[in-house]
A = this chain, B = another copy of it.
């Protein structure tokens, strides 16, 4: 359970026992823990022995007093898949994919929503609202359903159909809006004022980031298992597909907490932000040396999770990139779809376009000499490709007439 809530820009503190959105400065609030007093009882060995098979095995650094208070659907504890060195992956001999498609509702959004809905429910919220053009919608819907809360969703009309359908099945109140996600966000703010809904937009409440940070905790355990050692391990480089950036900021927070807990030293992975060429505000700001990102005009990409032209946590992401010695890369839509096919056919998992993007970014940074292929690299696949089936062109599949005894002749031996 957290003990403080602090403005990420001004350091001002806020009470922890009531529903909170942004700080007075309009910036995200971050949760703090009394890590010093946890050092004795909250250790890697204790955690390994727990039977809780979800991210709530880390409940001491999550917003609950007791693990039973969590609104959980089995989120987290996703596999870390070692990539096979073949085809375009040849030479990458210490490459892993953290496969977040294993989460409830098929994406990493489940982690954030599990934490945020848990805290909102425990503080008495009955209705949540958010804008979404992708996976956040389904995650919010199903955690709200589990908690017995009502969920209002405002979604751009061009949101992928799978995201709309799953939300409707789960009982969310879905409104389609003739605008961008930012227009939807405005309607959420108006609705929250008018109807008293609780705003669950990215980084506008303090706990989605807490849920997402568990990706950082898990990774350290996953790699220790991989090396068959008790000692927690971090990789050399982490590639993260970045829209709102909650996961990136969250993992960085996790690493700092783990150091304060005495679990790891001061060494950190280089963090790499991956965006789509048609919407790359953080890439632009990073390479221009800016502290904040400007709104990216005419944002467009088929990777719905990357279609975030302005992120409220921009300054936090840029600071993580610089502190970690990382970088930021953009990928075309064509490249990222090629990445999806390559991961599917060579590694055996159907990644989302954002997952395709991080793989192509890793290739690009090896080609540019920024990174060696045999470094220990972790790619985050943030969701299942199944929700992006509408992007796949099947072409003309061969059709067989089973009444024709020679119908198999079309197949070459």
Contact = CB atoms under 8 A, between A and B. Distances in A.
A162 B402 contact: no
A323 B242 CA distance: 55
Given A348-B170, A384-B106, A408 B73 contact: no
Contacts of A349: 73, 104, 142
A79 B72 CA distance: 10
A340 interface: yes
A376 interface: no
A102 interface: yes
Contact of A191 (B162, B340, B411): B411
A386 B74 contact: no
Contacts of A239: none
Contact of A397 (B104, B164, B186): B164
Contacts of A53: 77, 79, 225
Contacts of A177: 399-400, 402
A341 interface: yes
Interface stretch (A204-212, A266-274, A387-395): A387-395
A73 B348 contact: yes
Nearest to A184: B402
A338 to B, nearest CB: 12
A386 B162 contact: yes
A166 to B, nearest CB: 5
Given A102-B102, A178-B402, 7 more contacts: A84-B148, A164-B397, A169-B344, A170-B348, A176-B397, A176-B400, A187-B400
Interface string A46-85: 0010010110000000000000000001100111010010
A397 B191 contact: no
A97 to B, nearest CB: 10
Q: Which are the 5 A-B pairs with shortest beta-carbon distances?
A: A74-B79, A146-B348, A171-B345, A51-B225, A183-B402
A124 to B, nearest CB: 18
Nearest to A50: B225
A392 B165 CA distance: 7
A289 interface: no
Contacts of A54: 79
Contacts of A157: 399
A385 interface: yes
Interface string A122-147: 00000000000000001000110111
Contacts of A143: 348
A392 to B, nearest CB: 5
B74 A162 contact: no
A194 interface: yes
